[in-house]
């Protein structure tokens, strides 16, 4: 009787043929070998050198999960747990140690081998070019604030397309481009730890311009794949339907979602955001022809990262006139009573948010081809859930994924063009300043045993989901 029920449950949520099942990762967070085989420093290597106290337990990027050396073993594990696709990133400072100039032959060999290994295992490589990891030599001249860095990025992108485009057919220019803006130039959680709204605007603008120019270069090369961008879309829910709360949510959405979504998909910037930047005197420096490049080079494919909602309300107090300008001058964050929380990460869990994002993309962004490129649950101290067989019993992660997938399934039935689901992440990895505090992977990594890999219960469950194309 139990088996019959289990079989019935397997068929309850069936996904379209060819659905992309897999996970996502990034170079700096997984590769290790931070200073080896010719790799140049990026901003994370530098920041750890000068301020190791800003990193959980003092663990830096050289101690990441050693994918650089263990990629063959890791890709076999991906295959074993049902991956048909995997999103990785290329390290700009591994390919170009100085950010520009000579390319690193050892880096070319490494990424070429990884791509070949994935394809041999029946796993399609999805390749992202920029994941928060500015080469330090380029940061020294201002990073994304400096327009010269846009041109250096385009050369880097063109080089990767030429070298790997024969095998890679899904490319992404940037992952979560709003995060370096927020972290590096507003809220002090990424290097260079500046609080400067004018620089934040310029960084965002140059990042978007670099994306459009890379898309243009990809098409000019006659490449036959698809190229897109990966955005962390965080729905902005108003506290109430009072007009002041609703207006606050519209403005928050313009700052944090539509600032990259609209130009990437529609080729134009949100009017509400432009009006605020003009009124407050923070428009970016632009050159003639830029807006045409952005307008004409929109994405083919949209990666959507979703972790939590943003809840906002109308301002309760006048802003401090002496404080630096912040988006929060136009709204306050709102803590909804009774919300469901992941206490380890301090984030709300709101599964329906993934549905609301996909409905919005369907209705307001031409139902562009898209996929969930990150969704996941970080948990601190997962070792306590390891059973006598050495397997972490992460039923909470299975429940988290299931509940999000139910909403993805619903929106597919309603006509959404969402093509896949990638968990963040394949294996426990170094999570920026949080280092290894919270574990996210299908596979556990034991740092004290040379990075020993063990598939968690969620990885075994995911294998069944992929094989059955549903659950």
Report whether 126 contacts 61 (CB < 8 A).
no
CATH superfamily membership of 2-468? Glycosidases (3.20.20.80)
- In the 3-class helix/strand/coil scheme, how is 143-176 assigned residue by residue? HHHCHHHHHHHHHHHHHHHHHHCCCCCEEEEEEC
Q: How far apart are CA 251 and CA 315, in angstroms?
A: 12
In eight-state DSSP terms, residue 317 is S
Active site residue 176: yes
Q: How far apart are CA 340 and CA 350, in angstroms?
A: 7
Residue 9: what pLDDT? 52
Classify residue 289 by burial, with Cβ atoms within 10 Å: 0-12, 13-18, 19+.
exposed
Kindly report the pTM of this predicted structure.
0.96
Closest by Cα among 381, 382, 380, 377 to 397: 377
Residue 10: what pLDDT? 53
Q: Which two tokens stand for residue 57?
A: 């337990």
In eight-state DSSP terms, residue 327 is G
Choice among 31, 137, 374, 382 that is catalytic: 374
- In the 3-class helix/strand/coil scheme, how is 401-434 assigned residue by residue? HHHHHHHHHHHHHCCCCEEEEEEECCECCCCHHH
Report whether 154 contacts 174 (CB < 8 A).
no
Q: Which two tokens stand for residue 453?
A: 């890999």
What is the residue-wise DSSP string for 191-215?
Answer: TT----HHHHHHHHHHHHHHHHHHH
Classify residue 361 by burial, with Cβ atoms within 10 Å: 0-12, 13-18, 19+.
buried
Listed in sequence order, the residues at least 6 apart from 205 whose beta carbon sits closer than 8 Å to its beta carbon are: 284, 285, 286
Choice among 31, 117, 137, 176 that is catalytic: 176
- In the 3-class helix/strand/coil scheme, how is 46-108 assigned residue by residue? HHHHHCHHHCHHHCCHHHCCCHHHHHHHHHHHHHHCCCCEEEEECCHHHHCCCCCCCCCHHHH
Classify residue 29 by burial, with Cβ atoms within 10 Å: 0-12, 13-18, 19+.
buried
Residue 354: what pLDDT? 98
Q: Using only C-alpha atoms, what is the Rg of the chain?
A: 22
Active site residue 452: no
Q: What number of H helices and E strands is found in the chain? A: 17, 17
Per-residue pLDDT of the chain (471 residues; tens, 9 = 90+): 434 345 445 579 999 999 999 999 999 999 999 999 999 999 999 999 999 999 999 899 987 899 999 999 999 999 999 999 999 999 999 999 999 999 999 999 999 999 999 999 999 999 999 999 999 999 999 999 999 999 999 999 999 999 999 999 999 999 999 999 999 999 999 999 999 999 999 999 999 999 999 999 999 999 999 999 999 999 999 999 999 999 999 999 999 999 999 999 999 999 999 999 999 999 999 999 999 999 999 999 999 999 999 999 999 999 998 999 999 999 999 999 999 999 888 899 999 999 999 999 999 999 999 999 999 999 999 999 999 999 999 999 999 999 999 999 999 999 999 999 999 999 999 999 998 999 999 999 998 899 999 999 999 999 999 999 999
Distance between start and end Cα atoms, the chain: 18
Residue 344: what pLDDT? 84
Report whether 442 contacts 25 (CB < 8 A).
no
Q: How far apart are CA 156 and CA 412, in angstroms?
A: 36
Report whether 126 contacts 88 (CB < 8 A).
yes
Helices 105-120/67-80 angle, 10° precision: 10
Q: How far apart are CA 220 and CA 216, in angstroms?
A: 6
Q: How many CB atoms lie within 10 A of CB 171?
A: 27
Helices 271-280/243-253 angle, 10° precision: 90
Q: Which two tokens stand for residue 173?
A: 């220019």
């Amino acid at each position: 009787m139990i088996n019959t029920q289990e079989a019935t449950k397997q068929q309850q949520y069936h996904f379209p043929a060819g659905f992309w099942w897999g996970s996502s990762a990034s170079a700096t967070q997984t590769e290790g070998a931070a200073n080896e085989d010719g790799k140049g420093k990026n901003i994370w290597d530098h920041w750890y050198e000068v301020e190791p106290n800003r990193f959980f337990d003092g663990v830096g990027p050289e101690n990441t999960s050693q994918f650089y050396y263990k990629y063959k073993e890791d890709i076999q594990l991906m295959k074993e747990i049902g991956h048909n696709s995997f999103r990785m990133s290329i390290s700009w400072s591994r390919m170009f140690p100085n950010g520009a100039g000579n390319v690193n032959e050892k880096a070319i060999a490494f990424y070429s081998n990884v791509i070949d290994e994935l394809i041999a295992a029946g796993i399609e490589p999805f390749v992202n070019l920029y994941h928060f990891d500015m080469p330090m030599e380029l940061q020294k001249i201002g990073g994304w604030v400096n327009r010269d860095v846009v041109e250096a990025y385009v050369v880097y992108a063109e080089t990767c397309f030429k070298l790997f485009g024969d095998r890679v057919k899904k490319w992404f220019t940037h992952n979560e481009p709003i995060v370096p803006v927020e972290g590096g130039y507003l809220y002090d959680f990424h290097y260079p730890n500046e609080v400067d709204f004018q620089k934040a605007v310029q960084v965002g603008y140059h990042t978007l311009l670099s994306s459009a120019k890379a898309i243009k270069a990809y098409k000019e090369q006659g490449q036959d794949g698809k190229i897109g961008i990966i955005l962390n879309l965080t729905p902005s829910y108003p506290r109430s339907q009072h007009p002041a709360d609703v207006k606050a949510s519209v403005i928050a959405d313009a700052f944090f979602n539509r600032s990259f979504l609209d130009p990437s998909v529609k080729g134009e910037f949100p009017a509400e955001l432009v009006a605020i930047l003009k009124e407050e005197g923070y428009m970016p420096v632009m050159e003639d022809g830029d807006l045409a490049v952005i307008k004409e080079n929109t994405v083919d494919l949209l990666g959507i990262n979703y972790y939590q909602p943003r809840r906002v309300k109308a301002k309760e107090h006048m802003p401090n006139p002496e404080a630096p300008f912040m988006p929060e001058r136009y709204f306050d964050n709102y803590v909804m009573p009774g919300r469901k929380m992941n206490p380890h990460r301090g984030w709300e869990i709101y599964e329906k948010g993934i549905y609301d994002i996909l409905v919005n993309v369907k209705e307001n962004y031409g139902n562009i081809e898209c996929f969930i490129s990150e969704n996941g649950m970080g948990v601190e101290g997962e070792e306590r859930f390891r059973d006598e067989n050495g397997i972490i019993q992460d039923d909470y992660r299975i429940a988290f994924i299931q509940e999000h997938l139910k909403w993805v399934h619903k929106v597919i039935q309603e006509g959404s063009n969402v093509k896949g689901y990638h968990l963040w992440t394949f294996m426990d990895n170094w999570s920026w300043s949080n280092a290894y505090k919270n574990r996210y992977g299908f596979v556990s990594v034991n740092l004290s045993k040379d990075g020993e890999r063990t598939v968690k219960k969620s990885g075994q469950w995911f294998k069944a989901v992929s094989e059955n194309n549903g659950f």
